[in-house]
Amino acid sequence: GVPATYVFLDRARHLLVRAGLREVQAIPFASEADLLLTGDTDAIRITNPVQADEGWLRTRLLPGLLRTVRRNLHRQVRSVGLFEVGTVFGMVEGDPRERPMAAFAMTGVADAGWTGGGRTFDFFDAKGAVETMLAELGVPWSLGEPLGRPYHPGRSAGVVVGGTVVGSLGELHPSVAASLDL
């Protein structure tokens, strides 16, 4: 009785939890700074926003995740691994569209605990999470070309499924991380 899309998204959630990430749910609003960070120009403006500086529907999950990571770091949380499975919005051929999306962010010590060596999260930790999730979902994929901002050009790649780039994977560019106080 549950639509196939919901079953798929629920499986993705469980796989991200198994990868050691914690789920968050952010409000679906974005600011001008969020749109500049992602380079999106197809955002939908909100007529009467709850907060004046968040007057758009979000086009990606990344800015909200980065704000949550920053909030945790400012509260002295040394290691953060978060994900969100939520809805994003955009204009497609003049019509508003919404679609489900999954995203995650990691920072800090990857092997915390008294037996850990203090190794920090890197590109390969993120790749492992994506690889495990997509393999369990039965989705064949590959890595594409390096990405531009906000990602580090030498430590990023597109996630390609069926010849189409469906996602991104990588470390933030150091200047972007510094500007976001991460």
Question: For residue 147, what pLDDT is reported?
Answer: 87
- C-alpha separations of 24 from 62, 78, 122, 152, 182 in Å: 12, 17, 21, 25, 18
- Indicate if the pLDDT at residue 39 is higher than 90: no
- Indicate if the pLDDT at residue 117 is higher than 80: no
Quick: pLDDT tens for 48-74: 988 888 999 999 999 999 999 999 999
- Indicate if the pLDDT at residue 35 is higher than 80: yes
- Asked if 168 and 155 count as a contact pair (C-beta separation under 8 A), the reply is no
Work out the pLDDT band at 14, boundaries 50, 70, 90: very high
End-to-end CA distance of the chain: 43
- Indicate if the pLDDT at residue 116 is higher than 80: no
Backbone dihedral angles phi then psi of residue 178, each to the nearest 5 degrees:
-65, -40
- C-alpha separations of 88 from 4, 40, 51, 55, 97 in Å: 19, 12, 18, 14, 8
For strands 22-23 and 80-92, give the pairing. parallel
Work out the percent of the chain whose per-residue pLDDT is above 70: 100
- Asked if 107 and 82 count as a contact pair (C-beta separation under 8 A), the reply is no
Quick: pLDDT tens for 85-113: 999 999 888 899 999 999 999 999 888 77
Question: For residue 68, what pLDDT is reported?
Answer: 95
Work out the percent of the chain whose per-residue pLDDT is above 90: 66
Residues in the chain: 182
Mean pLDDT of the chain: 91
Q: Is the previous residue joined to 150 through a cis bond, with omega within 30 degrees of 0? A: yes
Q: What is the pTM of this model?
A: 0.88
DSSP 59: S
- Indicate if the pLDDT at residue 114 is higher than 80: no
Mean pLDDT of 152-167: 92
Distance, in Å, from the CA atom of 121 to the CA atom of 155, rounded to the nearest integer, reads 13
Quick: pLDDT tens for 120-141: 898 899 999 999 999 999 999 9
Question: For residue 180, what pLDDT is reported?
Answer: 87
Distance, in Å, from the CA atom of 61 to the CA atom of 71, rounded to the nearest integer, reads 16
